Structure formats: C-alpha cells, structure tokens
Structure 1
Amino acid sequence: MSGDATENFPADEREEESISDRHRKEKKELLAKIQAMKKAKVDKKKRKEMQDEIVRLEAELEARHAEELKADELPNESPSVALNTEQNTADDDETGKQFKVSKAQRRREKKLQEQKEREAQIKAEESCNKNSPRIAEDKKIAEILAARGLASFNVPADGDCLYNAIKHQLGRLSIFQYDTADLRQLAADYIEDNKDTLIFYMSNPETGDILGEDEFNKYCFQVRNTKAWGGEIEIKALSSRLKCPIEIIQASGTSPIHGAGEDMGRKLVLTYHRHMYRLGEHYNSTVAAQANTGGDSGDDEADKDD
C-alpha cells in the first residue's frame, strides 16, 4: 500500500489493516498450494510425507501470524493513550479505555466473521458433494460412536483442536481443570523430559532424518507457545502426564488407546478426522449420545481460551 493511499489514516490502523490483508492473502496462497499438492498423483508413502509437509506449513504459518499479531498489539495501545492525553486532558483515562475496548471489539467481530465464513464453506461443500470423503468418514465415526452410546462434540479447527478436545473430556469427567495453554505446557515438558525415548519417532518432514538439537528445541517451542497441530507424540505425552488413557476413534482401522496401562475409569475418548477440513486432520471430543447438543456449545467452550 503506497504512502499516498494511506496518509489520511492513523499509522496504527494502516499497520493493522495491512497485516490483516497480508495474513488473509498468505492463507489463501497456502490453501491454493495445499490443494495443488493434494491433487498430485503420488503413492501412499509420498502422500503421507505430503500430509506431514502440509501440517508443517500450516503450523509455521499460524505461528508466524500469531507472533506478528502479538507484536503488533503491544505498541499500539500506548501511543493511543498519549494521543488522547494531548487532545483532551480531562478525559484521558476514559478515552484510552474506550479505544482499547473498541479495538478488542473489532478483533472479536473479525474472529466471529471468520468462523461464520468457515462454517458457510463447510456447509457449501457438504451440499455440493454428499458423497465426499468427509461425509463418508463422519458417517462411519457416528456409527461407531452410536454403538457405544456416544456422539461427537465439535471443537474449533484452530490448531488447538487436540488440546481443546482433551480439555473438554477432562471437564466432562471432572478429573482436572486445565486450560489449553496448561495442556500445551504439560505436553512440551514431557517431550523435553523424555527426549531420549521420543526422538526416534520425531523426524524432519522434508528429509526424513531424526530431528537435530535445534530442530527438537524448535519443535518443543512450537508445542508450548504456538497453535501447532498436535499428534500422536502429544497424545502420548498428555496421557502420561495426566495419568489418563486416551482412546482415538477413527473411521478406518483400529481405535488406538494411548496409556492403556493407566486407570481405564479415567479414559478420555476423542475422534480423529482425516477429511473434516481442507487444511488437514482434526480432533473432536465426545459426549453421551443423549447429552449431545450440537457443535455450537463445543465451539463456545473452546473459544474461551483464545
């Protein structure tokens, strides 16, 4: 955006708008790249490598966007208060508070709009293709759950789905009270404490080599501080730290139970979806079938941590 086009707007609004526009553009570019990758005809091994690469690309983009938004948020508030002080000394504190509330409201509205757009896209895809892999997968998982008196409980596809699903299970069973950040911390601590055992299951998605020291540290940092997607390593870590078996129900194959040696009365039951969203895999929680009230309540609960 040129200087002439933006000189009539405050500097903080120009920066916020440019970051938002750039993030939106980068997400669209990543989506296009992922779609092109998924259309490529490759063998099963290459497809698994490709899926790992997709997860990595998503995690890196989400981490970078989160860091940029956080960095952008801190310097914007102080200048606004200073500006209000110069304009109206008597109303300084109140004006500063109003500005902050207004900016927070804009973020909430933007997040709500993105959620609505994502839901609209999902519904459009469902209506266009009733026989899509996602529909078939959802139907199979629903059948497995129904046979056990369970139903799926939706959580947002925001990178924290594994942690929010586990958080919901812990709350449903009244075992622990953890928020998403706490669960990420537990997982990262376990991975660091058990590096000698876990490192052999952690490889570079591009080379296939075992992670080096710097790569391992970066991995743990992303688990702890970003919205990096969680997988089997994080499930094992949380099962061990929480002393809870974690069963993963999926449409095909068996339903693995991590931490099978723990007290089965504390078992957490999640569902794993390969085709729920275009950008990769997803985890949901479960509830007793008669208690299932739909996805809205699940989204609201998980959003409290954002």
Structure 2
Amino acid sequence: MARNNEFQHLLLKTVQGNPELLTGSTGSRLISGNSFIVTETENFIAKEHQYESALLFPSGYNANLALFSTLLQRHDTIIIDEKIHRSIHDACKMSNCRKLKFKHNNCDHLESILKRQKGKVYIAIESLYSMDGDIAPLPEIAQLAEKYNAELIVDEAHAFGVFGYGFVEQLQLQKKVLATVVTYGKALGTLGAAILTNNLIKHYLVNFASPFIYTTSSHDFLWMSIFKGYHFLNENRKLLTKLQETIKIFRDQNIKSPSHENSPIQAVIIPDNDQLKVLRNTLSDQGFLTYVIFSPTVKKGTERLRICLHSFNKTEEIIGLTKIIKDFI
C-alpha cells in the first residue's frame, strides 16, 4: 500500500502544472474530433507511402474492422490466408460477405479457388505473419489478383518499420494493392494505424465505416507521435541494417525455425505447453524476455517460443539465449 501511495504521489507531481494533458478530441472526427494536425499527418503519410490517401485510426484492429466491414458487401467474396489476423475475421462477420480460406502462403491453392469465383472478389493477406515470422509471396499474389480481376488488401502491421515502410512500398506495388494497413504500435513504438488507399475509398470509409464514425478521435498527441515516428525512421535507416545483422547472428546459431531468415520474429516450435512454460521460466531466470504461444491459440503440436529480435540486442545476448534453447531441446 505504501508503494502504491508513493506511485500516486509521483504521478500527481508529474501531471500538476500540465493542463494540456486534459486536452482531448471531444468527439468523433465527423463532429468535433477532426483537426489540422490529423489531416496534415494523413497527407504526409499518404505521400510517404505513395498512395492517394491515408486514413488514421486509433488501432490496427479498429482500422481492419472499418475497412473490411464497410468495403465488402453481402454478395462479395473474400479469400483470406488461413493464418490472417483475427481482426479481419471479425470484420468479415460484420460485412456478411462470403469468406473463403486458402492454405497459408500457397499460391496454387489460392489460384484454384480464384478460378471458381464469380462476382466481386477480394484477397486479404499479411505481408509478414506474426506467429510463424514468415513472409507472404506478395508479387505472386498480386499477379494472381490482377489475372483474375480480384482486389488485393495487405496488412503490413509487422513489416512496417522493420522492412522500411513495408513490402508494398519496397516492391512498389501500390497500383496493384487496393488498400494497405500499417500500424504504429509495433516497430514505431506508439499507437494507431493508417489505411492507405485511393481518395474514393477514403471518402467512402469516412461516411459509412461505423468504427470510424462512432469512435471518439484520438487526441493530437497521438498523431504527432506518429508523425515524429516517421521522421525517426527516416533519420535512423542504419537501424534497419543493424537489425538484419542481429537476425543473421541468431540464424547462424542453427536454431531450427519455420521463420523467414530475414524476419525479426523467430519461432521455435516446442510442441508441449508444459515444456514451453519450463523453457520460458528458465529464460526469464537468466534475464531473457521471450513469449510463449500455447495451444489452442496455435494448433496443437505447433506450440512455440516466439522470439522478437531488436537492433539493440548484443551478440553475446543472442548467443546466450540460443545456448539455453539448444541445451533445453
């Protein structure tokens, strides 16, 4: 209790004399929550990603919910990668569209499904998957979308800030990807998300997307932190090179992983929940913060240790981590 009182005293001392901390947007962006700062930040983001428009949201979940629940109509079909994020599943339920799944990163299976479709068709994928740490064959999927007159939507939550602005920008696929979602709560270390698309879809979402219309806008501090984050990325491009060097050191330790060799997310399969707990606790006792993914969050038999590598990780830390894992296995 004494420690709690000490914290409250410190918190009160911090906020006293800072009335700006009481400033909020006061409403949704269609009423009183819009501002010059959010509008200019969106214009900046669109230009950076080479899209016509950007629309900001307080979270990636909120952005996906708005995009998929509004854009897709009852008689449309969406074909999603079987390992796509839960937010897209939830949004599809809201849209009442027809939802089909293709095998993870399997272009042949995707094409076999596309061949049988009629009417408006969308394809939804992630560029970098958070559980396996593997990368989608984005150019091939973009070609299939074009071949079968389907619209492609890409979630870049885990690629943005790690692979530059993401793979859509890196591969210059903006004209082949109808909408890209980037989030700022991971590599950028802040909060929020943006839908990158054309002007028509942006205006449509502004006027018809319930998660946008009926959500109180975030305050300008958030939009300013995102703007600052972009400038930090551009001024510290060397960190991307340092991160790849760190990932290579990890991969050179010959830890078996289904993850892509350049991915900052490295999964180590330990197909037993109890064994995973032992390994996590062992690593924690040695000062390593890792995350375990138990079934049924992932399929039984694919339980895993999920390692997120950072540019600031030292070589000796990585070697120490991998030694414990190898000894355990």
Q: Which has the higher helix share?
A: 1
TM-score, structure 1 as length reference: 0.27
Task: Using CA pairs under 8 Å that are at least 6 residues apart, name the structure with larger relative contact order, 1 or 2.
Answer: 1
Greater strand proportion: 2
Q: TM-score, normalised by structure 2?
A: 0.26
